[in-house]
Structure 1
């Protein structure tokens, strides 16, 4: 997702206690960052962070890490986090915003972080053949995630893009995952308690069915 340069983003993030610009310092020690033993869930390519913020509000007994490569996006995300938590009369104590290139995610997390849940929501579909290896669901990346996910971990994947979804089914299988649930029309499925992202609402309003799957390690 493209976003215009936000001159205020980095200064605001620099003052944010739950923003991490050098995640490698917490590799294997994310529970120390949160200061408790609560389970940690991870969203990669988090965009404007509304999904992770809503999850953190709904599940106060869990910690959430929202990861993106763009500081401008995370700047917008910080404002959304502050707004959502304020609306619920809470301080953002169970969420972290992390700037990280997914290509180097193995430098930010290890098996010692015990991450058992990961979300990939509406990532860039990279439709051109020469760019498909950049997809967050590409087999090489899925294998990389296995290095820090627990043995019983689940990845939840949502997209509006038909080609990305169908090819990702194969990617998960190639990377050794088991698909335990799949639907090509999430909003008319048996899935409950779905949190809609901004992209999800936009695509749904346009009449585009949301594709969704759950894959286990």
Structure 2
């Protein structure tokens, strides 16, 4: 991907130390210190222009968010969206958001085992050619890394417009024995759900009538236990005689 940005982009993002982290490897195992609290950490891998992660940080102040991307221009654009979304005095950064510039292929260098509670994969590059399958962010090679970084409540939330990537991902999750829930082949079939925060791509694709595919993957032991308990409760409710 080539992005054309104005001159001085690097200097601009270097000045935003309250929001942008240019060397996230420095905070491996120390993100709680960066935020100054022990709130759960949710990470979006491939945040693009930052619409999703910015809105999530405003909607859920009880969570710390980190958006990751490797391009200076995208990090700069995301910083603009973050400050506008926060709507704080003097354009201050949201206290529960960080934007990290790094290559996702090295994600294990920026986070310690068990440091993350949730990973968002939104409209990742589908890498359609078979020879590029290892670059897909839902490839087993990446999933093994995520599994190490996620804690006991760990989950992956994945959205895409690519049917082929979605099918590949579901098969990969199944091959690794991962539990899936809330699988949707058309998230917007009855309109955008109230709880759903859209990305730039999602708004564009759904506006064209293209189906958005989504799934949640449960990895952590505590998350899996809660999921199974909920399934059991739902079965008991459905089995109860109606009066």
Q: Same fold (TM over 0.5)?
A: yes
Aligned-partner SS, 2:47: coil
| Correspondence for 1:147 | 148
Consecutive unaligned residues of structure 1, counting only runs of 5 or more, are: none
Structure 1 residue 174: Cα displacement? 2.7
**1:209 aligned to 208, 211, 214, which one?**
211
CA drift of 1:86 comes to: 1.9
- The alpha carbon displacement at 1:216 in A equals 0.7
Q: TM-score, normalised by structure 2?
A: 0.83
Kept in 1: contact 2:114–2:152 (CA 8 A): no
Q: 1:112 to 1:166 in 2, by over 3 A?
A: closer
Aligned match for 1:194, one of 188, 193, 196: 196
Q: In structure 1, what is the equivalent of residue 158 of structure 2? A: 157
Query: 1:71 and 1:2 mapped to 2: Cα distance?
Result: 11
Structure 2 unmatched runs, 5+: 220-243
- TM-score, normalized by length of structure 1? 0.93
What's the CA shift string for 1:136-157, capped at 9, x where partnerless? 1111101111111013311100
Q: Which residue of 2 aligns with 1:27?
A: 28
Contact in 1 for aligned 2:42/2:64 (Cα 8 Å): yes
Shift in CA distance, 122/87, structure 1 to aligned 2, threshold 3 Å = farther
2:62, 2:179 → 1: CA distance? Answer: 27
Which structure has the bigger radius of gyration?
Answer: 2
Pair 166,53 (structure 1): closer, same or farther in 2 beyond 3 Å: same
Matches within 5 A, 1:88-103: 91-103=93-105
CA shift for structure 1 position 9? 2.3
- Residue 134 of structure 2 corresponds to 133
- RMSD, aligned α-carbons: 1.9
Cα distance in 1 for residues equivalent to 2:88 and 2:213? 30
